[in-house]
Amino acid sequence: MFGALTESFKSAINKIRFADDEKSLKKAMDTLKKSLLRADVHHKVVRELIKTVEIETKKAGIGKESFLRSMRDNLTSMLTVPGNQGFVFASKAPTVVLMAGLQGSGKTTTTIKLANFIKEKQKKVLVAACDLQRLAAIEQLKQLGEQYEIDLYYNEDEKNPVTVAKEAVKKAKDGLYDVLIVDTAGRLAIDEELMDEIKAVSSAIKPDEVFYVADSLTGQDSVRTADSFNKYLGITGVILTKYDGDSKGGVALGIAHQLQIPLRFIGTGEKAGDFEPFLPDRIVGRLMGEGDLISLAEKTANIIDEKQAKKLTSKIKKGQFNFNDFLEQMESMKKLGSMKNIMGMIPGMSGMANKIKDMDLENSVEMKRIKAMISSMTKKERENPDLLNNARKRRLANGAGLSQLEVNKFLKQFKNAAKMAKKFSGKKGMKDLQNLMAGQNMPYPR
């Protein structure tokens, strides 16, 4: 996310080598200007930001710290619009959300991501399939809804989306749902028919929120389209998708600063967990390469049960961590979303996150092999890895379609990891871990 901009900002900052050196500041400003224009930030926004940062940096005394502080403050200010508050529930249930956007922006997938985000807050959510133009839209929602256990309302016999939307509102009220999310039709481009249909649905259900789904890869095109939708519908917020790709970045500054429409959420990957509120100060922190440990902690807290975590810690301390625990932790990690996004939240790791290809824990070859090995184990072997002698290992290798060498390698890695976890699980261990990380110049909370 913002990968190209982050690297460009670092390059600009590194141009300032000496205090009170106006030449180095000019080089930094030129680098910054070029990177922002390449990221498809509107030239008026670039001019305003460059001018303000230069004036403030000179006033505070030219140096890396003053340049960084001005950049951080002004970027945060530009991205902050009244209404940057994530999701707000209406005073009377159900909260009705209308989803709008063009085809290909990821609107249907984002609808499920938003539903999953709300569901994780222990709220009852219903999604309504009102995109009756695209033949695969209802089927896509069915599959995604089943995968993430999201309730779906659809009526394949009805051709009028207004009727389906009204029926969905009635079902949401009768079923005591907290939130109803209505997925509407999109087009390849804005046309009168599209806008008339969405306006008719909006007038019929009177939504509490109208979210426009914008494709981050399209830069200023998304800004112009958001402006058109806003004039027709009165958008209450924008959800930016595809921020895991080579996004231009300018779309965020354009929508927030030029149009004064609040950015509410961002999608940072393909899975339901790759979705989070757009909080300007935290986003700027990641943009500046400073990470975002608060969001990472919140993301983890939503997924990891506190009682289960304590139970697991106790087992690790006693050296009782087994293969059932391992699989359980892998399932939890999958819910966190993409590894690339997680690394981007850790201070000092954004550069590495930008260079690596994203890791898919569920579909990686290594993970499939590990699952095959564990699936070939008996219940007792999963609970007590020490039972695995050579004869049992041969049986595992045959059952998983692997060599005994591969099985031995995994079991050795598992044993070493369990030992390392036990060593660092106590207070003394945490101190040792901090010392180790400090020695390797790795970031950790002090």
pLDDT tens digit sequence for 103-144 = 888 899 999 999 999 998 889 999 999 988 887 889 999 999
For residues 307 and 237, membership in a common domain is answered with no
Establish if 205 belongs to a structural domain: yes
Taking the C-alpha atoms of residue 353 and residue 344, their distance in angstroms, rounded to an integer, is 6
Asked if 177 and 216 sit in the same domain, the reply is yes
In this model, does residue 86 exceed pLDDT 60? yes
Q: Is the pLDDT of residue 97 over 70?
A: yes
Tell me, yes or no, whether 150 and 195 share the same domain: yes
- Average pLDDT along the chain: 79
**In whole angstroms, what is the distance from residue 205 CA to residue 167 CA?**
10
Q: pLDDT (tens digit, 9 = 90+) per residue, 403-435?
A: 988 888 888 878 777 776 666 555 554 454 444
* 187 found inside a domain: yes
Residues 37, 108 within the same domain: no
Same domain, 270 and 321: no
Nearest to 374, CA basis, from 407, 417, 403: 407
- 54 and 139 in a single domain? The answer is no
Is the pLDDT reported for residue 362 higher than 60? no
In a domain, 258, yes or no: yes
CA 261 – CA 234 distance, rounded (Å)? 10
Q: Is-above-0.85 flag for pTM?
A: no
Residue 394 belongs to a domain: yes
3-state secondary structure of 444: coil
Q: Is-contact 385 323, C-beta < 8 A?
A: yes
**169 plus 154 within the same structural domain:** yes
Residue 87, in any domain of the structure: no
Residue 178 to residue 250: CA distance in whole angstroms: 35
CA-nearest of 208, 147, 143 to 182 is 208
The dihedral through the CA atoms of 103, 104, 105, 109 has a sign that is: positive
- Domain with residue 30: its CATH number is 1.20.120.140
- On whether residue 86 sits in a domain, the answer given is no
Most confident residue range from 231-245, 372-386, 409-423 = 372-386
Co-location of 192 and 266 in the same domain:
yes
Pair (169, 303) in one structural domain? no
Q: Which of 239, 264, 290 is the last residue of a domain?
A: 290
Does 71 map to a domain? yes
- Residue 332 φ then ψ, to 5°: -65, -40
CATH number where 355 lies? 1.10.260.30
CATH number at residue 147: 3.40.50.300
Give the domain-ending residue among 290, 305, 324. 290
Q: Does residue 330 sit within a domain?
A: yes
Of 290, 306, 336, the residue at which a domain comes to its end is 290
Q: Specify whether 117 is located in the same domain as 222.
A: yes
pLDDT of residue 249: 63
| Co-location of 15 and 137 in the same domain | no
What span, in angstroms and rounded, lies between the C-alpha atoms of 374 and 400? 9
Alpha-carbon separation of residue 82 from 159, 237, 262, 268, 273 (angstroms): 38, 10, 7, 23, 26
Domain of 251 in residue numbering reads as: 95-290
The residues facing 214 across adjacent strands are 240
CB of 164 within 8 A of CB of 129? yes
Give φ, ψ of 290 to 5 degrees.
-95, -5
Domains identified in the chain, total number: 3
Question: Quick one: 286 and 301 in the same domain?
Answer: no
Among 10-19, 212-221, 245-254, 415-424, which range has the highest average pLDDT? 212-221
